[in-house]
């Protein structure tokens, strides 16, 4: 194998695949990335951590075809530090070394044979259907914040995708304290065949979101145990979580007798202000709602307290209900709406935050006892 | 090699092959048997047979990509859990459980091999129990342990147990010749020491067994004559200059075993005509110790064997070497050669320095 590449392109590609390389050393080959040079001037890079696999390609001047694996992190560090714009690579197959040459610097990296790399080509022949990248990106962005980092008893560390009765596609995430979902018409994913429901792991959701930020042309496909996303220059495949998502619909109150609407540009800065006196142990914001007024109240015995009154249009029973201020702010930031609609039943049920101008979005936050 | 190539464990292998043939693979196996009886080799072969891309007769082909990766320990769906320090910790099991959120990456089965499963801490065993109770699809656990009693009974009851017998001497010798390149003669003599464990046989190979054996047995035989005044300096010297106490204890054990064997076989009646390797004895024994063994009650020899085992166990948990040897050698002097030899002074009337 022998080829020459532009430094800037290579850095970009190597950065992209870093997230799929394993950081732990249980299987040394997972720290490596697979490099494949083919005769048509194409260079392919793949990496996997056995959960998420990434494949990208770039143009290069290939003098000799071949493939091998080297440490992905070291290769990126080297390429980044090299001042020259063109870097040449050559595989010494006999000694199992990859020679990296740029100007007068020369590196010899140890390699592991490409045949030993986990077989990640196997998802590439799945039928793919094109989908609306923007819709998918929004769906992921609006639900990502609710996916828990770790598995807990009532929380699955993944994003649930499922079809609804009115043939929409719903993306649901919940960490056991709050829940959010985003519903899109299934027509945004024409021809996408999905079983009853799938759960996409958190890391994959993050990576898909990152990939979608830069691309507009995306196709998606699904196998028995994996989900794949393909953009013109990259290919992402993730294994699906084999878990059961809690029956989240049971906690959403069907009838919410009370509701208020507040302009986002008033509510959000006000929340930000009262949040200044909260910390990790005192993190509530209390919404005291009375006739035509909403009082935000927060406090911390060590720092002091804060309150702010907002005029609203309301003529119902008085209520006082507290939420984690961070949750409320995150939920509001995910919305693209000029007004926020807050609906509730009583202080024992979850409060619902909706954006009337962002119809697919729904968020529920469980109240706190203060 | 394939599953059918595992030597000396016919029953266990037949059972595993039957399981493969009927395609009724349980979610967990417990392979129990002494170290070096082929548990790990069988577990790896089973993993290969299950994940082989082109199996024939329900066994691995040995040449496909999956077989090659498995042989080189690179298969992403074979997970090895080994003790971290002296035990297998809770975090290791928790980390493992996380992997079960996903299906196997490229194989049909994900195979988790837990080496020395008896080293799992109780909390770790309980964490494992959770996943054994609700086994996810397409996963197979293989626990390796010397004895099933060493694990929580709740774990054992959820595994399909397969017992591995100690290997025959001939199988150990065959493996040593085939895989370690020993000559048939030395392989046979090492195999005799190994008590059916290929691991132990390999350990002995690196220990220069003949010479060590001679040194230890000389000491054992001198116990009959040595006076107490000389006894303690001798043991002290032994303990100080000892390069490999574990091996020395092994030799003492084998020596006592040989005496017992000699005592109970016909050889004793025919006046010691049959001796040495021919009748199952490890090495040639001297007339003196054979005579002593022939005269003491058989129970004494069994008590000695037990004492050697106790001393070995004590040594493994850091008992003082010199004191262990002293206790053991005094017991040998007592039970084998009789109290008559508890003389303080040398029989030869050596001039004493006081």
Q: What is the pLDDT of residue B205?
A: 78
Q: What is the pLDDT of residue B215?
A: 83
Angle among Cα B347, B349, B353 to the nearest 5 degrees reads 125
d(CA B108, CA A239): 14
The superfamily CATH assigns to domain A2-116 is DNA Polymerase III, subunit A, domain 2 (3.10.150.10)
Q: What is the pLDDT of residue A34?
A: 92
Nearest CA in chain B to A157: B101
Concatenated DSSP letters of B7-63: -S-HHHHHHHHHHHHHT---SEEEEE--TTSSHHHHHHHHHHHHH-SS-BTTB--SS
In this complex, the residue of B74, B98, B101 whose CB is nearest that of residue A116 is B74
Mean pLDDT, rounded, for B32-44: 89
A116 lies within 8 A of chain B by CB: yes
Closest CA to A60 of A4, A110, A1: A4
Nearest CA in chain B to A112: B74
A237 lies within 8 A of chain B by CB: no
| CA distances to B139, B260, B298, B309 from B328, in Å | 49, 17, 18, 10
Written out in words, the top-level CATH class of the domain with range A252-365 is: alpha beta
Closest CA to B11 of B36, B33, B44: B33
Note the pLDDT tens digit of each residue in A6-18. Answer: 999 999 899 988 8
Chain A residues in contact with B76 by the CB 8 A cut-off are: 27, 30, 50, 118
The residue assigned the tokens 């002995």 is: B204
A51 lies within 8 A of chain B by CB: yes
d(CA A304, CA A347): 25
- Assembly ipTM: 0.76
Angstroms from B50 CA to nearest CA on chain A: 17
| pLDDT band at residue B347 under the 50/70/90 scheme | low
Instruction: Enter the tokens of residue B59.
Output: 């066994």
In this complex, the residue of B69, B74, B101 whose CB is nearest that of residue A241 is B101
Chain B residues whose C-beta is within 8 A of a chain A C-beta are 65, 68-69, 72, 74, 76, 98-103, 105-106, 136-137
In this complex, the residue of B69, B74, B105 whose CB is nearest that of residue A50 is B105
Mutate to test the interface with A, among B68, B70, B73, B74 (most CBs of A within 10 A): B74
d(CA A366, CA B38): 56
In this complex, the residue of A48, A116, A241 whose CB is nearest that of residue B69 is A116
Chain A residues in contact with B136 by the CB 8 A cut-off are: 242
User: Strand A226-231 vs strand A234-239: parallel, antiparallel, or unpaired?
Assistant: antiparallel
Residue B73 has pLDDT above 90, yes or no: no
Angstroms from B54 CA to nearest CA on chain A: 16
Instruction: Enter the tokens of residue B57.
Output: 């007769």
Domains A2-116 and A252-365 share a fold: yes
Task: For B186-224, give the secondary structure using H, E and C.
Answer: HHHHHHHHCCCCHHHHHHHHCCCHHHHHHHHHHHHHHCC
Mean pLDDT, consecutive 10-residue stretches, chain A (370 aa), reads: 91 89 79 90 90 89 92 92 91 91 91 86 72 89 90 83 86 92 85 79 91 87 85 88 87 92 94 92 92 92 91 92 94 93 91 92 92
Inter-chain CB proximity A29 and B102 less than 8 Å: no
A194, containing H or E segment: none
A149 lies within 8 A of chain B by CB: no
Whether residue A224 contacts residue A304, with contact meaning beta carbons closer than 8 Å, is answered with no
In this complex, the residue of B102, B103, B105 whose CB is nearest that of residue A118 is B105
Inter-chain CB proximity A50 and B137 less than 8 Å: no
| CA distances to B68, B262, B263, B281, B297 from B269, in Å | 57, 10, 9, 16, 14
Chain A residues in contact with B106 by the CB 8 A cut-off are: 118-119, 122
In this complex, the residue of A30, A119, A201 whose CB is nearest that of residue B106 is A119
Backbone torsions φ then ψ of A236, nearest 5 degrees: -120, 135
Check: pTM over 0.80? Answer yes or no. Answer: no
Instruction: Enter the tokens of residue B42.
Output: 């069988």
Chain A residues in contact with B105 by the CB 8 A cut-off are: 48, 50, 118, 239
A121 lies within 8 A of chain B by CB: no
Q: What is the pLDDT of residue A275?
A: 93
Mean pLDDT, rounded, for B12-29: 90
d(CA B260, CA B249): 17
A50 lies within 8 A of chain B by CB: yes
Backbone torsions φ then ψ of A298, nearest 5 degrees: -140, 165
Q: Which long-range contacts (CB under 8 A, 24 or more apart) does A334-337 make?
A: A334/A141, A334/A142, A334/A143, A334/A145, A334/A180, A334/A361, A334/A363, A335/A142, A335/A264, A335/A361, A335/A363, A336/A361, A337/A264, A337/A361
Residue B346 has pLDDT above 70, yes or no: no
In this complex, the residue of B69, B72, B103 whose CB is nearest that of residue A225 is B103
Note the pLDDT tens digit of each residue in B82-118. Answer: 998 889 999 999 888 888 888 888 888 999 999 999 9
A225 lies within 8 A of chain B by CB: yes
Whether residue A316 contacts residue A323, with contact meaning beta carbons closer than 8 Å, is answered with no
Inter-chain CB proximity A50 and B68 less than 8 Å: no
Whether residue A173 contacts residue A159, with contact meaning beta carbons closer than 8 Å, is answered with yes
Backbone torsions φ then ψ of B160, nearest 5 degrees: -90, 115
Written out in words, the top-level CATH class of the domain with range A129-248 is: alpha beta
Chain B residues in contact with A157 by the CB 8 A cut-off are: 101
Inter-chain CB proximity B102 and A239 less than 8 Å: yes
Mutate to test the interface with B, among A21, A116, A147, A160 (most CBs of B within 10 A): A116
The residue assigned the tokens 């994959």 is: A204
Angstroms from A288 CA to nearest CA on chain B: 43
Inter-chain CB proximity B100 and A242 less than 8 Å: yes
Chain B residues in contact with A201 by the CB 8 A cut-off are: 101-102
In this complex, the residue of A118, A151, A240 whose CB is nearest that of residue B76 is A118
Q: What is the pLDDT of residue B273?
A: 46
Q: What is the pLDDT of residue A119?
A: 81
| pLDDT band at residue B293 under the 50/70/90 scheme | confident
Chain A residues in contact with B102 by the CB 8 A cut-off are: 50-51, 201, 225, 239-242
Whether residue A259 contacts residue A343, with contact meaning beta carbons closer than 8 Å, is answered with yes
Residue B233 has pLDDT above 80, yes or no: yes
Inter-chain CB proximity B101 and A243 less than 8 Å: yes
Mutate to test the interface with A, among B100, B101, B108 (most CBs of A within 10 A): B101
Q: What residue ranges do the domains of chain A occupy?
A: 2-116, 129-248, 252-365
Edge-to-edge strands, sheet with A168-174: A197-201, A158-163, A168-174, A178-185, A361-365, A351-354, A339-344, A258-263
Chain A residues in contact with B74 by the CB 8 A cut-off are: 27, 29, 116
Mean pLDDT, rounded, for B328-354: 68
Q: What is the pLDDT of residue B274?
A: 47
Mutate to test the interface with B, among A23, A27, A112, A156 (most CBs of B within 10 A): A27
Q: What is the pLDDT of residue B281?
A: 63
Note the pLDDT tens digit of each residue in A281-297. Answer: 889 999 999 999 999 99
Nearest CA in chain B to A52: B105
Average pLDDT over chain B, rounded to an integer: 83
Chain A residues in contact with B72 by the CB 8 A cut-off are: 116
What number of C-beta contacts closer than 8 Å exist between A and B? 42
To the nearest 10°, report the CA torsion of A138, A143, A149, A155. -150
């Amino acid at each position: 194998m022998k080829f020459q590449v532009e430094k800037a392109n290579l850095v970009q590609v190597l950065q992209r695949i870093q997230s799929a390389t394993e950081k732990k050393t249980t299987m040394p080959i997972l720290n490596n990335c697979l490099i494949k040079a083919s005769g048509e001037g194409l260079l392919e890079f793949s990496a996997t951590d056995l959960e998420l696999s990434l494949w990208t390609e770039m143009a290069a001047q290939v003098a000799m075809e071949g493939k091998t694996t080297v440490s992905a992190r070291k290769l990126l560090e080297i390429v980044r530090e090299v001042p020259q714009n063109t870097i040449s690579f050559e595989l010494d197959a006999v000694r199992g070394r990859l020679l990296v040459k740029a100007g007068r610097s020369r590196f010899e990296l140890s390699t592991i044979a490409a045949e030993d790399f986990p077989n990640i080509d196997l998802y590439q022949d799945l039928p793919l259907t094109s989908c609306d990248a923007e819709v998918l990106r929004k769906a992921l962005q609006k639900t990502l914040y609710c996916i828990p980092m770790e598995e807990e008893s009532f929380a699955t560390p993944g994003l649930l995708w499922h079809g609804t009765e009115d043939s929409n596609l719903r993306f649901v995430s919940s960490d056991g304290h709050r829940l959010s979902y985003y519903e899109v018409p299934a027509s945004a994913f024409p021809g996408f065949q999905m079983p009853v429901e799938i759960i996409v792991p958190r890391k994959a959701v993050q990576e898909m979101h990152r990939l979608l930020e830069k691309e507009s042309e995306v196709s998606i496909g699904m196998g028995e145990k994996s989900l794949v996303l393909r953009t013109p220059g990259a290919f992402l495949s993730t294994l699906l979580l084999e878990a059961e998502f809690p029956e989240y619909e049971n906690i959403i109150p069907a009838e919410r007798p009370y509701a208020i609407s507040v302009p986002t540009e008033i509510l959000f800065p006000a929340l930000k202000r009262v949040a200044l006196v909260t910390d990790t142990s005192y993190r509530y914001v209390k919404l005291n709602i009375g006739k035509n007024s909403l009082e935000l109240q927060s406090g911390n015995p060590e720092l002091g307290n804060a309150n702010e009154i907002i005029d609203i249009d309301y003529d119902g029973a008085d209520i006082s209900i507290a939420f984690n201020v961070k949750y409320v702010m995150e939920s509001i930031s995910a919305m693209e709406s000029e007004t926020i609609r807050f609906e509730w039943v009583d202080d024992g049920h979850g409060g619902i935050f909706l954006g009337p101008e962002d119809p697919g979005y729904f968020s529920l936050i469980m109240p706190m006892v203060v | 090699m394939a599953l059918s190539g595992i030597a000396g464990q016919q029953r266990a292998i037949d059972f595993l092959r039957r399981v493969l043939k009927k395609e009724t693979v349980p979610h967990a196996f417990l392979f129990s048997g002494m170290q070096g009886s082929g548990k790990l080799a069988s577990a790896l072969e089973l993993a290969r047979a299950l994940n082989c891309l082109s199996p024939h007769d329900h066994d691995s082909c040995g040449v496909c990509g999956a077989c090659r990766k498995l042989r080189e320990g690179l298969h992403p769906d074979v997970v090895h859990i080994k003790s971290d320090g002296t035990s297998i910790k809770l975090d290791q099991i928790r980390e493992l459980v996380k992997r079960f959120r996903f299906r196997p990456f490229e194989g049909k089965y994900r195979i988790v091999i837990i080496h020395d499963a008896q080293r799992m801490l109780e909390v770790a065993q309980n964490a494992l129990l959770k996943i054994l109770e609700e086994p996810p699809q397409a996963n197979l656990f293989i626990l390796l342990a010397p004895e099933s009693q060493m694990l929580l009974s709740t774990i054992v009851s959820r595994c399909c147990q397969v017992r591995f017998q100690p290997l025959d001497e001939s199988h150990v010798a065959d493996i040593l010749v085939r895989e370690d390149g020993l000559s048939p003669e030395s392989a046979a003599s090492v195999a005799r020491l190994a008590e059916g464990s290929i691991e132990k046989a390999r350990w002995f190979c690196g220990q220069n067994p003949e010479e060590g054996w001679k040194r230890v047995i000389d000491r054992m035989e001198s116990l009959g004559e040595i006076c107490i005044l000389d006894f303690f300096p001798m043991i002290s010297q032994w303990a100080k200059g000892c390069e490999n106490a574990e091996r020395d204890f092994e030799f003492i054990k084998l020596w006592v075993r040989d005496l017992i064997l000699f005592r109970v076989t016909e050889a004793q009646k025919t006046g010691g005509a049959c001796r040495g390797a021919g009748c199952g004895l490890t090495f040639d024994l001297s007339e003196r110790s054979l005579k002593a063994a022939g005269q003491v009650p058989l129970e004494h020899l069994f008590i000695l064997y037990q004492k050697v085992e106790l001393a070995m166990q004590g040594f493994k948990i850091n008992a003082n070497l010199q004191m262990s040897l002293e206790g053991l050698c005094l017991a040998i002097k007592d039970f084998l050669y009789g109290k008559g030899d508890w003389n303080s002074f040398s029989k030869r009337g050596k001039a004493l320095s006081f």
